[in-house]
Amino acid sequence: MVIIYPKFFSLEQEKQERIINAALKEFAQNGYERASTNEIIKEAEISKGSLFSYFNSKKELYLFLLDYVVKVIDKIYDEVDWKETDIFKRIKAIGLAKFKIYKRSPQAFNFLKAVAREDAVEVKSEVNKLEKNITESGLERGYQNIDLTKFREDIDIQKTINIINWTILSFAEQQRDKVNSMEDIGMEIFKEWDEYFDIMKRCFYKKEEE
């Protein structure tokens, strides 16, 4: 399961990045199957033989990138303030962290976005595994240390958190389809986001909170 790529990692940093970015970009733009190794080597300015000596196949390259983006996600969580106990503020903090990371490595985000839509049989099982992983560990971490006493007492809190979560994710996806690139994102999105938060706070929290 754990494969390391000694040949690749012994390359100079800059070359590694060139290859990773070229590959992320190509897979993000075209999906697994339609992505062309030719385009990747052209963009990364390396030879065909090199690519296949670092990784052994297109599939392994893809799997490597999957691992790579997991680390990027981890960085997001590192930037979040885990002391904040209000769930909506926490979610917001995570969202902002994501946004900052995106600014730093947009390729990884686009790739991740594409991964979510990937359905090539050859990599499907790995993709699903990753997704389950992310979701679970995300939830675990994401909702650690949350102050659950703020919630109304007549509702199932875990399910309510699910509703909040699904709402955020679905809203994000809806926005993603609206904008062409993350560059377009402005503050008005965050404003609309807050409006959803307000509804949920008003409905799911006890009367006199905050």
Residues that bind a copy of itself (CB under 8 A): 29-31, 33-34, 114, 117, 119-121, 152, 154-156, 159-160, 162-163, 166-167, 169-171, 195-196, 199-200, 202-204
- Residue placing its CB nearer to DNA in the complex, 64 or 102: 64
Q: Least distance from C-beta 156 to a copy of itself, angstroms?
A: 6
Choose the contact partner of 15 out of DNA, a copy of itself, none; CB within 5 to 8 A by kind.
DNA
157, two tokens: 């809190």
**Nearest CA among 96, 125, 98, 97 for reference residue 113:** 98
> Which tokens sit at 173?
């996806």
Burial pattern 139-151, b for ≥16 Cβ within 10 A else e, equals eeebbeebeeebb
CB 189 within 8 A of CB 96: no
Hey, what amino acid is at 122?
E
- When asked if residue 29 is in the footprint of DNA (CB under 7 A), the reply is no
Q: Is 77 in the site for DNA (CB under 7 A)?
A: no
> Whole-number minimum distance, CB 145 to a copy of itself, in Å?
23
Q: Choose which of 9, 29, 36, 190 interacts with DNA (CB under 7 A).
A: 36
- Of 34 and 176, the one with the shorter C-beta distance to DNA is 34
Q: Please check whether residue 127 is in contact with residue 182, taking contact to mean a CB–CB distance below 8 angstroms.
A: no
Give the span between the Cα atoms of 109 and 154, in whole angstroms: 39
- Is 25 an interacting residue with respect to DNA (CB under 7 A)? no
Contact 121, 35 (CB under 8 A): no
Q: Which residues bind DNA (CB under 7 A)?
A: 7, 10-11, 15, 34-39, 46-50, 52-54, 56-59
